[in-house]
Structure 1
Amino acid sequence: MRIRSVRKYTLLLMLFGFTKSFAQQTLQYSQYMFNGLAVNPAYAGYKEDWTLNLASRLQWAGVDGAPKTNSLSIDGVTNDDTKNVGLGFLVNNDRLGPENNSSVYINYAYRLRLNEEDSQRLCFGIAAGAIQYSIDGSLFNPASTTDPSIPTGIQNKFLPDFRAGIYYYTPLMYIGVSALNLLPQVGSDPNSIFIMPVRTYYATGGLILPLTPEISLKPSVMFKEDLKGPTNMDVASYLVFNKVLWVGAAYSSGVLLLNKTDLPVVLNRTAALTASVAVNVTPRCRIGYSYDFVTTELPGYQSGSHELSFSLSFGRSRERVLSPRFF
């Protein structure tokens, strides 16, 4: 997809937070609560059965070169008896106009059993992988063909990456912390056309609150912090009907939790509202959809963001489920 000018693209990059000074570089999903592996390697094996997760997001529909994000993951436990080790494989692709970034991770989690009923686990996870950054200079249409800041052809950069996290859960709650982009890029060229990876921290949590025998409330929260851009807070709540239908809403916004004096105030005003629905087609298969609408800087330039998710578990059959997996 070609764009009309470099200026238009620069505006898009700045609004999305991909500038070097104020980057929130990690991928953004509204339905993160259905695939914790995307933000925390310690989530690997949480559902115990091997589970496939797919997610596809089109952000800011109607904007040329708008972000398109896709991910695929599969995870499960390696031993059906002890369930002490979880493994996961995660692939991401994120495209923003001429930028096309792909990553692959292998995730490992050691899962400590905390009680005799095996309804509580404390999990420690690590992930190792690599990211390929790519910029296609031919997708720019500059006013001057001699602009030295526009790359010629396709430029690539390959970097290793490392992640770590902790995840605790019971049948009715979970809490996790994690850190992404842990490897520092020592000696990197400050004038590089590629965005420098920034270490990013996550804190997530959620509950299941039974309201009636058929209806439960599932609130959740996620904080994302990279110590450079605005702290991002996402608060969501779902109503779960008969463990089959999920209907919910979320609010995401930049918040001031740390003193960042050089951060433009406009970046803390970015906010979005999300409406989501998910259906458990079978006990092992879920389909979800969410719609986001930015409430501040971009409402007149885009028609919202769309996200689809799909989950399928497979493996051994069980006569009964002691701890239903709501997260």
Structure 2
Amino acid sequence: MKGKFKILFLSILAVIFARETTAQQNVQFSQYVFNMLSVNPAYAGYKGDWYLNGVYRHQWVNFPGAPQTGAVSIDGLTGARDERVGVGAQLTVDKLGPQEILSAYGFYSYRIPLDEEDTRRLCIGLGGGITQYSIDGTALKYVDDLDQAIPLGKTSQIIPDARFGVYYYTPKFYVGAAVMDLFSLYTDNSRYYWGGYNYKTIRKTQHLYVNAGYLFDLSENLKLKPSIMWKEDFKGPSNFDFTAFLLIAEKLWIGGSYRTGVKLWSKPALDKELEQLDAASAMVEFYATPQLRIGYAYDITINKLASYQQGSHEISVGYLFNNKKYKSRTVSPRYF
């Protein structure tokens, strides 16, 4: 029985640190800088040709009920005049203990050229989709199988959602901003009702993502790409990701990132004793061919969860379907 109570305690602790300490309910991958469609719908079509990306993340290895997330996305251009219209789609599965989230989104981006050489564009993007939130009652039976407050099986709700973003880029610089979960203020269907009981385990809130990056040419075969992302849900700590990569001979990216919480302003509902530190990541990305990218990230938790788990693993694969009409993109790849 003590073992069951320990598992229950650790699972509750995981939920607290995953959804409160980082102040983020939305899925985010360490390697988001290689496919930012998950954080900004205006990114759709940026690479020009159709781009297929898959990623799997196993967080907090050996931790009971640890998050596991997988996502597949594709985006590209429609062939409209001046490559102004980008579209995309993304399917995501996120599992945390007894909770499971399955989402499907479609994206549209209108890309406005800002110079005759087509080196600068301002992109405006919209995203829409549905999300299914589920709770598996069988995963909650730790202490008393006769507890009437626990569902006998899986219960779920489906709700609509929308996203909006803007994205500006040049060959050496980018900046973007996006608002996620636009409908979260007007829907409450992510609460569950069963047997007269109200489950508030999953309830999302609006998120703001702001990011920027720059590419420095250090030498003919060496480039440096630092970037930063600010993540805000207006309730928990303001989170910042600081990332830096070295690109070697146009084939190998080596870098890392550091994530932490910052108190930018007073938030009455935020516990003053809440841990602000989060994690550090080491990442490597290898272009096996000009079209095929293979990436891996290892995250080291630096908050109080560090002694309970063995880090996080993330694997990603991306493939660019080059259009023969635009062979120059292979010679001059998109760095963002």
Shorter-chain TM range is: over 0.9
Give the alignment of 1:3-22 within 5 angstroms.
4-5=4-5, 6-17=8-19
Tell me which residue corresponds to 1:240.
Answer: 247
Shift of 1:144: 2.7
- Once the 2 structures are TM-superposed, how far is the Cα of residue 151 of structure 1 from its aligned partner? 2.4
Which consecutive residues of structure 2, in runs of 5 or more, have no partner in the other structure? 193-197
Deviation at 1:81, TM superposition (A): 5.1
The alpha carbon displacement at 1:271 in A equals 1.9
Kept after mapping to 2: 8 A contact 1:107/1:128: yes
Counterparts of 1:81 and 1:283 in 2: how far apart (Å)?
26
CA contact (8 A) 1:109 1:126 kept: yes
2:207 pairs with one of 200, 207, 210: 200
Q: 2:276 aligns with which of 269, 279, 286?
A: 269
Q: Which of 306, 317, 320 is the matching residue for 1:310?
A: 317
**Which of 77-86 and 151-160 deviates more?**
77-86
| 1:65 CA drift (Å) | 1.1
| Residues 133-175 of structure 1: per-residue CA shift (max 9 Å, x gap) | 0111101233233434422211101100000000000111110
Do residues 251 (structure 1) and 258 (structure 2) align?
yes
Confirm whether residue 260 of structure 1 aligns to residue 260 of structure 2. Answer: no
Taking a change above 3 Å as real, the CA distance of residues 286 and 187 of structure 1, as seen in their structure-2 partners, is closer
Q: Give the direction of change, closer, same or farther, for the CA distance of 1:268–1:298 in structure 2 (3 Å limit).
A: closer
Work out which of the residue numbers 219, 222, 225 in structure 1 matches 2:229: 222
Could you tell me how far apart the structure 2 residues matched to 1:265 and 1:244 are? 45
What residue number does 1:320 align with? 328
Q: How many residues align structurally? A: 323
Q: Tell me which amino acid in the other structure corresponds to 1:199.
A: Q
2:28–2:38 Cα contact (<8 Å) kept: no
Tell me if the contact between 2:20 and 2:236 (Cα under 8 Å) persists in the aligned partners.
Answer: no
What TM-score results when the alignment is normalised by the length of structure 1?
0.93
Distance 2:273 2:300 in 1: 17
Q: Which amino acid aligns with 1:46?
A: Y
Residues 230 and 268, structure 1, Cα contact 8 Å, conserved in 2: no
Alpha-carbon distance, 1:261 to partner: 3.1
CA distance in 2, matches of 1:229, 1:246: 32
Structure 2 residue matching 1:15: 3-state secondary structure? helix
The 8 Å contact of residues 48 and 77 in structure 1, kept in 2 or not, is answered as yes
- The structural deviation recorded for 1:186 is 4.2
* Paired residues for 1:288-303 under 5 Å: 288-303=295-310
- Equivalences for 1:142-181 in 2 at 5 Å? 142-181=142-181
Give the 5 Å matches for 1:38-57.
38-57=38-57
Aligned-residue offset at 1:195: 1.3
What residue number does 1:93 align with? 93
Measured in 2, the distance between the counterparts of 1:284 and 1:187 equals 43
Q: 1:259 deviation in Å?
A: 1.1
Amino acid of the structure 2 residue aligned with 1:116: E
The alpha carbon displacement at 1:27 in A equals 0.2
Rounded Cα–Cα distance in structure 2 between residues aligned with 1:319 and 1:72 = 25
Q: How far 1:242 sits from its partner (Å)?
A: 1.2
Which one-letter code corresponds to 2:186 in the other structure? Answer: Q
Amino acid of the structure 2 residue aligned with 1:320: S
- How far is 1:97 from its partner? 1.6
Matching residue's letter, 2:269: D
Alpha-carbon separation, structure 1, partners of 2:130 and 2:20: 19
| Range with greater deviation from structure 2 (198-207 or 22-31) | 22-31
CA distance in 1, matches of 2:80, 2:291: 17
Question: How big is the shift at 1:207?
Answer: 0.7
Q: CA deviation at 1:7?
A: 3.2
How far the C-alpha of 1:16 sits from its partner, in A, is 1.1
Alignment check: 8 A CA contact 1:171 1:323 kept: no
**Does the 8 A contact of 1:119 with 1:323 survive in 2?**
no
Per the alignment, residue 84 of structure 2 pairs with: 84
Return the alpha-carbon distance in structure 1 between the equivalents of residues 107 and 270 of structure 2. Answer: 34
Q: After the TM superposition, which parts of structure 1 deviate over 6 Å for at least 4 consecutive aligned residues?
A: none
- For residue 185 of structure 1, what is the aligned residue in structure 2? 186
Shift of residue 18 of structure 1? Answer: 5.8
Post-superposition Cα deviations, 1:269-310, rounded to whole Å, max 9, x if no partner, equal: 232111000011111111110100011211111010000111
Return the alpha-carbon distance in structure 2 between the equivalents of residues 91 and 275 of structure 1.
Answer: 26
Length-normalised TM-score, structure 2:
0.91
Asked if 1:133 is matched to 2:133, the reply is yes
Aligned partners of 1:92 and 1:154: how far apart in 2?
Answer: 19
